[in-house]
Amino acid sequence: MAKNLPSTGIVSWLTTVDHKRIGILYGVTALFFLLFGGAEAIFMRTQLALPNNTFLDAGTYNGLVTLHGTTMIFLFVMPLSAAFFNYLTPLMIGAPDVAFPRMNALSYWIFLFGGLLLNFSFVVGLLPDGGWFNYANLTGPKYSPSHAIDFWVLGVQVVGLASLIAAINFFVTIMNMRCKGMTLLKMPIFIWTTLVTQVLLILALPVITVALMMMTFDRSFGTGFFDPGAGGQVIMWQHLFWIFGHPEVYILILPAMGIVSEILPTFSRKPLFGYSVMVYSSCAIGFLGFAVWAHHMFTTGLGPWAQALFSAATMLIAVPTGVKIFNWVSTLWGGHIRFTTPMLFALSFIAMFTLGGLSGIMHSSPPIDYQHQDTYFVVAHFHYVLYGGAVMALFGGIFYWFPKITGRYMDEGMGKLQFWMYMIGFNLTFFPMHFLGLQGMPRRIFTYASDQGWNLWNLVASAGAYITAAGGVLFFINIFYSLKWGKKAPHDCWDGRTLEWTLSSPPPEYNFAVDPEVKALDDWWLRKWDKDGKRLHPEVQPEIDPSTKHLPNPSFWPMILAFGILLLACGPFFNAKGIALSLVGVLVMLIATYGWSFEEA
Amino acid sequence: MKNSGVFRSRGVSWLMHKLCFTLGSMLVTASAFGGNKAFDDGDYTVKATLSSPMNTIAGLTEWAQSINHVYGITSIVLVLVFFAVSIPLIYAIYKFRVSEDEDLINKKPPKQVHGNVVLEFAWTIVPVILLLFIAIPTWEGIFSRPVKPPEGALKIKVIGHQWWWEFQYPELGITTANEVHLPENTPVFFELSSADVIHSFWIPQFGGKKDVLPGADAVNQMFFTTPKLANPEKAGGEYYQGQCVELCGLSHALMRFEAVLHSKQEFDSWAKVHNQPPVIASELEKKGELLFAQCQVCHTISGTPSEDLEKQMLAMDPPAPKQGPNLTSFGDRRTLGAGTRKNTYENFAKWVREPQSIKQGATMTAFNLSDDDMQAIAAYLRFSTAKNY
B260 shares a domain with B165: yes
B291 shares a domain with B249: no
**How far apart are alpha carbons A93 and A498 in whole angstroms?**
9
**Band of the pLDDT at A253, cuts 50, 70, 90?**
very high
Nearest CB neighbour to A52, from listed B35, B147, B196:
B35
How far apart, in Å, are the Cα atoms of B365 and each of A28, B124, B175, B354? 50, 63, 22, 8
A541 shares a domain with A573: no
Is B23 within the bounds of a domain? Answer: no
pLDDT at position A3, please? 59
B204 shares a domain with B265: yes
Evaluate if residue B210 carries a pLDDT over 80: yes
Work out the minimum CA distance from B336 to partner chain A, whole angstroms.
14
pTM: 0.92
Name chain A contacts of B56, Cβ cutoff 8 Å. Answer: 371-372, 375, 437-440
A290 shares a domain with A184: yes
A571 shares a domain with A474: no
Evaluate if residue B102 carries a pLDDT over 60: yes
Evaluate if residue B46 carries a pLDDT over 60: no
Nearest CB neighbour to A57, from listed B85, B115, B360:
B360
Is B22 within the bounds of a domain? Answer: no
Nearest CB neighbour to B74, from listed A135, A269, A362:
A362
Domain that holds residue A594: 563-601
- Cβ distance B112 to A365 less than 8 Å, yes or no, reads no
Domain final position from B274, B294, B313? B274
Nearest Cα residue in chain B from A60:
B250
B264 shares a domain with B164: yes
A241 shares a domain with A175: yes
B323 shares a domain with B229: no
Is A1 within the bounds of a domain? Answer: no
- Cβ distance B112 to A333 less than 8 Å, yes or no, reads no
Q: Alpha helices of A177-271 — where are they, by DSSP H? A: 189-221, 234-268
pLDDT at position B103, please? 81
Provide the sign of the torsion angle of the four alpha carbons A137, A143, A145, A146, taken in this order.
negative
Evaluate if residue A337 carries a pLDDT over 80: yes
B287 shares a domain with B374: yes
Beta pairing partners, B189:
B155, B223
Is B56 within the bounds of a domain? Answer: no
Size of interface A-B (CB pairs under 8 A): 353
Nearest Cα residue in chain B from A451:
B41
| pLDDT tens string A559-595 | 999 999 999 999 988 877 888 999 999 999 999 999 9
- Contacting A residues, span 483-542, partner chain B, CB-CB under 8 Å: 495, 529, 533-535
Is A526 within the bounds of a domain? Answer: yes
DSSP SS3 for A324: helix
A493 shares a domain with A436: yes
| Long-range CB pairs of A329-332, under 8 A, 24+ apart, other chains included | A329/B85, A329/B88, A329/B89, A329/B92, A330/A273, A330/A274, A330/B113, A330/B116, A330/B119, A331/A264, A331/A265, A331/A268, A331/A270, A331/A271, A331/A272, A331/A273, A332/A264, A332/A268, A332/A270, A332/B89, A332/B92, A332/B93, A332/B96
pLDDT at position B52, please? 86
A392 shares a domain with A316: yes
Based on the structure, what is the number of domains in chain B?
Answer: 3
Is B295 within the bounds of a domain? Answer: yes
Evaluate if residue B27 carries a pLDDT over 70: no
Is A456 within the bounds of a domain? Answer: yes
Is B5 within the bounds of a domain? Answer: no
Is B163 within the bounds of a domain? Answer: yes
Amino acid at A83: A
Nearest Cα residue in chain B from A340:
B100
Q: In this structure, what CATH number is given to the domain that contains residue A246?
A: 1.20.210.10
Q: What letter would DSSP give residue A442?
A: B
pLDDT at position B15, please? 42
A574 shares a domain with A545: no
Residue A318 dihedral angles phi and psi, to the nearest 5°: -60, -25
A437-464 mean pLDDT: 94
pLDDT at position B105, please? 81
For residue B206, give the H/E element and its range.
none
Domain final position from B121, B143, B165? B143
A459 shares a domain with A594: no
pLDDT at position B36, please? 27
Domain final position from B115, B143, B171? B143
Work out the minimum CA distance from A339 to partner chain B, whole angstroms.
7
B29-50 mean pLDDT: 35
Q: In this structure, what CATH number is given to the domain that contains residue B371?
A: 2.60.40.420
**Band of the pLDDT at B50, cuts 50, 70, 90?**
low
A457 shares a domain with A424: yes
| pLDDT tens string A379-430 | 999 999 999 999 999 999 999 999 999 999 999 999 999 999 999 999 999 9
- The ipTM value here is 0.93
- Cβ distance B213 to A323 less than 8 Å, yes or no, reads no
Name chain B contacts of A228, Cβ cutoff 8 Å. Answer: 213-216, 218
A313 shares a domain with A174: yes
Instruction: Answer with the residue of higher pLDDT: A211 or A5.
Output: A211
**Band of the pLDDT at B217, cuts 50, 70, 90?**
confident
Is A10 within the bounds of a domain? Answer: no
Name chain B contacts of A135, Cβ cutoff 8 Å. Answer: 198, 246-247
**How far apart are alpha carbons B166 and B176 in whole angstroms?**
6
A141 shares a domain with A224: yes
| pLDDT tens string A135-158 | 999 999 999 999 999 999 999 999
**Band of the pLDDT at A329, cuts 50, 70, 90?**
very high
Nearest Cα residue in chain B from A232:
B215
| pLDDT tens string B226-246 | 999 988 888 888 999 999 999
Q: In this structure, what CATH number is given to the domain that contains residue B68?
A: 1.10.287.90
- Cβ distance A137 to B33 less than 8 Å, yes or no, reads no
DSSP SS3 for B164: strand
Based on the structure, what is the number of domains in chain A?
Answer: 2
B245 shares a domain with B163: yes
B376 shares a domain with B296: yes
| pLDDT tens string B294-316 | 999 999 999 999 999 999 999 99
- Cβ distance A138 to B97 less than 8 Å, yes or no, reads no
B163 shares a domain with B87: no
**How far apart are alpha carbons A137 and B246 in whole angstroms?**
12
pLDDT at position B1, please? 36
Is B37 within the bounds of a domain? Answer: no
**Mean pLDDT of all residues belonging to chain A:** 95
- Cβ distance B31 to A450 less than 8 Å, yes or no, reads yes
Domain that holds residue B205: 154-274
Is B40 within the bounds of a domain? Answer: no
A594 shares a domain with A452: no
Evaluate if residue B4 carries a pLDDT over 70: no
